[in-house]
Structure 1
Amino acid sequence: MKNNKQHIWIGTDQLNNSQELSQMEQSEFAELPANGNSVDLKLESNRRDFLKYLGFGIGAATIAACDIPVRKAVPYVVKPDTIVPGVATYYASSFVQGGDYCPILVKTREGRPIKIEGNSLSSITKGGTSARAQAMVLSLYDTSRFDGPRAIVDGVPDKKATSWADLDAAINKKLKPGARVRIVSNTILSPTTKQAVADFKATYPNTELVSYDPVSASALLQANEESFGQRAIPEYMFDKADVIVAIDCDFLGTWLSPIEFARQYASRRKPNGQTKMSRHIQIESYMSLTGSNADNRIPLKPSQIGAAIVALYGEVAQQTGAGGGRLAGPKLSADQQRKINTIAKELVAARGKSLVVCGSNNKSEQILVNGINAMLNNYGRTLSFARPLMTRQGDDKAALQL
């Protein structure tokens, strides 16, 4: 076997430079016994021996084709008390990325995170996780991520990283007490970060914090502020609703707090005879995880979602005698309108125990959904502002004014 590394040996014979081993390596062909003028060959083997020789030959050829890599196991000089080689260590932490939040347990080996699990002690998620939380561990090993602060040159991050000291010096040259400063970030949930922003504003009074969420719920916040005077997202209680109507809203997959909603939703989807199974109707323009679990799924075009909300609002208003009757707006086909009328009857029959949610980022459509829930007396029963959801605080209007 060829090996370019002279300090690596395989077997004691090679280590001691055995003469017999040297002769065997030099003898490529073994001499066969001769009997007179003919060679006396007695080759007797069975199928099992043939397979043995074949396997050994392939293995030897494979090993001879490459060098064995050298892997050094370096022991600890002073081993940390919290690390036992081969034994995993778990840490309780939180996954916060934009508006996504999840209490988690991080499995580590020798200080390296390798797996994410939900924290069963959480009263919100109760041990659940999302696909984004599970995939977060991959970002720790991403070789393409920034290894330090970088300056923006002509709208593009500089390829060369700068130091924090140089970055602070460059920013301090431009900061003045009267300067207009805008801090752009996604939704901030950390009280420590909020206090740091408040301290910065105290030093530079003309500073404004602009929150922008890539997956925005700004229309829902604006609609609630106009309808109830509170710019917040209500607490949705899917486990208390007998009839759920979701309009272009994937609340089991991506909408607002899918881990919490999935746990509540699942608790009412088990027909065990003790709890009434909830009825789920999904109106959507694409196949979603939530739509695939619905009892009744009504597919519409994206351009028809607004018309479906207007039609549902008008039908609920007519059947409840509230809300001012039908509204003018785009029309649906006769078959689609008939389905909306049936949905409205089910909602009115479950008045006070129904829930209508919408994933649209259109303020007018969200105001109509608020009106539907109000006519059905759902506020205080299946949704409430007593404990609002603060994971989405972005303001699209403020971002456009930058």
Structure 2
Amino acid sequence: MPSKDSKTNFALLRDKILQKSGKDYWRSVEEFADAPEFEEFIKHEYPSQAEEWEDGLSRRNFIKVMGASLAFAGLSGCVIQPAEKIVPYVRQPEGIVPGKALYFATAMSLGGIATGLLAKSNEGRPTKIEGNPEHPGSLGATDVFAQASLLQMYDPDRSQETLYRGNPTTWQNFMTAIRAAIDENRADGGAGIRFLTETVTSPTLISQFKQILIELPNARLYQYQPVNTDNAMAGAQMAFGSPAHTVYKFDQADRVLSLDADIFSGFNVRYIKDYTKARAFSEEKKDINRLYVVETTMSLTGAKSDHRLPVKPSQMPEIAKAMAAALGVSGANPSIAGFTPKTVQWIDTMAKDLLEHRGRSIVVAGDNQPPVVHALAHAINSALGNVGQTVVYTEPLHPNAEMLQVENLRQLISEIDGGAVKMLVILGANPVYNTPSDLKLNLERMNKIPLRVHVGMYGDETAELCHWHVSEKHYLEMWGDTRAYDGTV
């Protein structure tokens, strides 16, 4: 906006100030001077605001308008509602008193790991989810996934019926078709039948699949889930010669080293409880634990750490080797040529601290890290004497752990491409959506399978490409079992 001497004539401005009485506000000297050039600039720059500048809406009038709007909105709730009848129980269910809640112990499985929960129920309907204080998988804690699962139960988009080629049908028709298809494949032992599930740890469901495979010995069961423990299983295979499940005792660890493992954002709320317990400061316990984090991107665990070392993803294996060498693992030969002096000093300081806490430390690798990093973490825990103290190994929780889930999927895709699959039953998964691009279960491959069955909670991408779709029950609507992080059923 151009500026002229007449607009900034301080003598004229002084005279105007002396003529004013009471409080007056302005945004600039030009506005106060009430120069014609300024008014012209306002109208040109903000034409919609020109009139409001001169005659704006007062606060009192604004409150009047909004108050009337809110009053009319409130009156919409005063419409007479249709009459509804309240019918009492003909036979009063035992234990149910209207208005009095009941609590049921349950568990939600996510990624094959169960969280023990307590479900609050009012008149037969779950209304609130909390952690079960007596369950070792939660100790009374819960996470956002468990809380959101209650909303999923009442999701109006959930599948509610059995569909055949997109049209509603009956359960009897579905069972008739499935029995006929199984009978057709029974002669060759079910050689053309394949089952694809997400990670299953339920002892009952695993037993049922074993019974099916006894009846149909040539059928095959495959498991695939995008977020899985393939790298951890392969790392254990490298370290021990066979897959193993690792259980950490963070409540007994004074020092924790995370190799890109976001332990605070995972599915295991027990680990968060244990870590917090060791972190608690009191008059009796003045020494708290210490957390070292090496990670490739910022995470919640990294944000909560005492010492954080950001590295490139490509550097993580060499970083792990350098740490293993510093902590006394034989055979670890890192290439530290690309390390900065700060990184080398960080590793040396961390290694000295962990060596001073042998048997009271934990080294944990993230699921997204390659198997070699997991194998090095196992070797470091062994060298520090943590095994049997803060680190415990158990049998894998899911069956066929020797075969990685991505290899499960690869073999299934190979059999589909070869025309060996006559009937595919997909339980609770959505592989059409979440399989990797080089192993995509797309329309072309699905059309090679004569009979496709999908059991799921939604009519998703996989359901659309299957002949049959059967609605899956929510975990709060059915009985079953599963396993916690430590194998507890």
The TM-score bracket by the shorter chain reads 0.7 to 0.9
Scaled by the length of structure 2, what TM-score is found? 0.62
> CA offsets per residue over residues 264-295 of structure 1, 9 Å max, x none?
11111012243431111111122322222211
Q: Is the 8 A contact 2:257 2:363 kept in 1?
A: yes
Q: 1:298: which partner in 2? A: 309
Choose from 261, 264, 268 the match for 2:271: 261
Q: Is the 8 A contact 2:319 2:334 kept in 1?
A: no
Q: By percentage of residues, which structure has more helix?
A: 2
Choose from 245, 250, 255 the match for 2:257: 245
Q: How far did residue 173 of structure 1 move?
A: 3.9
SS in 1 for 2:378: helix
Q: 2:282: which partner in 1? A: 272
Which one-letter code corresponds to 2:153 in the other structure? L
Aligned-residue RMSD, C-alpha? 3.0
Choose from 383, 392, 399 the match for 1:384: 392
Q: Is the 8 A contact 2:131 2:140 kept in 1?
A: yes
- 1:375 paired to 2:383: yes
> CA offsets per residue over residues 47-66 of structure 1, 9 Å max, x none?
xxxxxxxx999968974898
CA distance in 2, matches of 1:354, 1:238: 8
CA distance in 1, matches of 2:146, 2:70: 45
CA distance in 2, matches of 1:63, 1:219: 60
Q: Is the 8 A contact 1:238 1:355 kept in 2?
A: yes
Q: How far did residue 330 of structure 1 move?
A: 7.8
Q: Is the 8 A contact 2:107 2:117 kept in 1?
A: yes
Deviates more, 1:350-359 or 1:79-88: 79-88
Where does the alignment leave 5 or more consecutive residues of structure 1 unmatched? Answer: 1-54, 152-157
- 1:346 paired to 2:346: no
Q: 1:23: which partner in 2? A: none
CA distance in 1, matches of 2:77, 2:119: 41
Q: 2:103: which partner in 1? A: 90
> CA offsets per residue over residues 105-137 of structure 1, 9 Å max, x none?
111112111100111122342111121111111
Q: Is the 8 A contact 1:222 1:363 kept in 2?
A: yes
Change (3 A) 1:330 1:363: farther
Q: 1:110: which partner in 2? A: 123
Change (3 A) 1:148 1:323: farther
Q: How far did residue 379 of structure 1 move?
A: 1.2
Which one-letter code corresponds to 1:170 in the other structure? A
Q: 2:340: which partner in 1? A: 333
Q: 1:224: which partner in 2? A: 236
CA distance in 2, matches of 1:206, 1:104: 39
CA distance in 1, matches of 2:70, 2:126: 39
Count of residues paired in the alignment: 337
CA distance in 2, matches of 1:212, 1:382: 30
Q: 2:248: which partner in 1? A: 236
Q: Is the 8 A contact 2:114 2:137 kept in 1?
A: no
SS in 1 for 2:257: strand
CA distance in 1, matches of 2:158, 2:140: 29
Change (3 A) 1:68 1:238: same
Q: Is the 8 A contact 1:183 1:208 kept in 2?
A: yes
Q: Is the 8 A contact 1:235 1:388 kept in 2?
A: no
Residue correspondence of structure 1 range 113-124 to structure 2 within 5 A: 113-124=126-137
SS in 2 for 1:104: strand
Q: 2:210: which partner in 1? A: 198
Q: How far did residue 243 of structure 1 move?
A: 1.0
CA distance in 1, matches of 2:73, 2:307: 63
Deviates more, 1:322-331 or 1:371-380: 322-331
CA distance in 2, matches of 1:209, 1:101: 22
Which one-letter code corresponds to 1:110 in the other structure? E
Q: Is the 8 A contact 1:243 1:347 kept in 2?
A: yes
CA distance in 1, matches of 2:387, 2:276: 22
Residue correspondence of structure 1 range 1-20 to structure 2 within 5 A: none
> CA offsets per residue over residues 90-116 of structure 1, 9 Å max, x none?
111121234231111111112111100
Q: 1:68: which partner in 2? A: 80
Q: How far did residue 304 of structure 1 move?
A: 3.0
Q: Is the 8 A contact 2:256 2:290 kept in 1?
A: yes
Deviates more, 1:303-312 or 1:239-248: 303-312
Q: Is the 8 A contact 1:235 1:389 kept in 2?
A: no
Structure number with higher relative contact order (C-alpha < 8 Å, ≥ 6 residues apart): 2
The percentage of counterpart residues that share the same residue type is 30
Q: 2:449: which partner in 1? A: none
Q: 1:29: which partner in 2? A: none
Which one-letter code corresponds to 2:161 in the other structure? G
Change (3 A) 1:71 1:92: farther
Change (3 A) 1:279 1:71: farther
